[in-house]
Amino acid sequence: MLDDLRELYQEVILDHGKNPRNFGKPDEVSHHANGHNPLCGDRISVYLEVDSDGVVRNAAFDGRGCAISQASASLMTEIVSGKTLEQVEQLFRNFHEMCTSDAKIEVDEDLADEMDRLQVMSGVRQYPIRVKCATLAWHTMNSALEGDGEATTE
């Protein structure tokens, strides 16, 4: 039983959950959205600084949530920094697919390393109710880029 749980709560997740990176609102923000998981009441905000070339210069978040959602948000902010908006969109699609489907995902070669790092979150597939925890930050980032301002996992 503990082995199964350690598959979900891998060291990387526990580390990012306890010590989230890029936590807090930065000074320069071009895109911002609030995310909400009505199931558990958790809320997070995602902040992006996107330059005129369509490259994410900085990504950050704040809010509170479970270890899965905090770790996912923390990893996401590290990974999308320096990516183009097209790449971010591709990562979002790939990540969502990874969390919800057992099928092998076709990944662009230039994003293979990033998807490898995100693989640590794939344990949520076995816990359908927790998929929303893992994807909340990504949905929120997507809303920020699309200018919606609000995202929920409903």
Partner 1 sequence: MTRMAVKTVAETTAAGPRYSNLPAYDVQKVRADFPILSREVHGKPLVFLDSGASAQKPRAVIDAISAVYEGEYANIHRGVHYLSVRATELYDEAREKVRAYLNAGKASEIVFTRNTTEAINLVASSFTGQGLQEGDEILVTELEHHANIVPWQLVAERVGAIIRPAPVDDDGLIIMEEFEKLLTPRTRMVAFTHASNVLGVITPAKEMIRLAHEKGIPVLVDGAQSAVHLKIDVQDLDCDFFTFTGHKLYGPTGIGVLYGKSEHLAAMPPYQGGGDMIKYVTFEKTTFATPPQRFEAGTPHIAGAIGLGAAIDYVNGLGRDAAAAHEHDLLQYATARISEVSGLKLFGTKGEKASIVSFLHDDVHPHDVGTILDQAGIAVRVGHHCAQPLMDRFGISGTVRASFGLYNTRDEIDKLVDALDHVKEIFG
Q: List residues near partner 1 by CB under 8 A.
A: 1-2, 4-6, 8-9, 14, 18, 39-43, 64-68, 127, 130, 133
Closest to partner 1 by CB, 48 vs 134, is 134
Q: How far is the CB of 118 from partner 1 (least distance, A)?
A: 20
Closest to partner 1 by CB, 71 vs 76, is 71
Closest to partner 1 by CB, 18 vs 93, is 18
Q: How far is the CB of 21 from partner 1 (least distance, A)?
A: 18
Q: How far is the CB of 25 from partner 1 (least distance, A)?
A: 19
Closest to partner 1 by CB, 14 vs 105, is 14
- In DSSP notation, the chain reads -HHHHHHHS-HHHHHHHHS-SSBS--S--SEEEEEEETTTTEEEEEEEEE-TTSBEEEEEEEEE--HHHHHHHHHHHHHHTT-BHHHHHHHHHHHHHHHH--SPPP--GGGHHHHHHHGGGGGGGG-GGGHHHHHHHHHHHHHHHHT--EEE--
Q: How far is the CB of 31 from partner 1 (least distance, A)?
A: 25
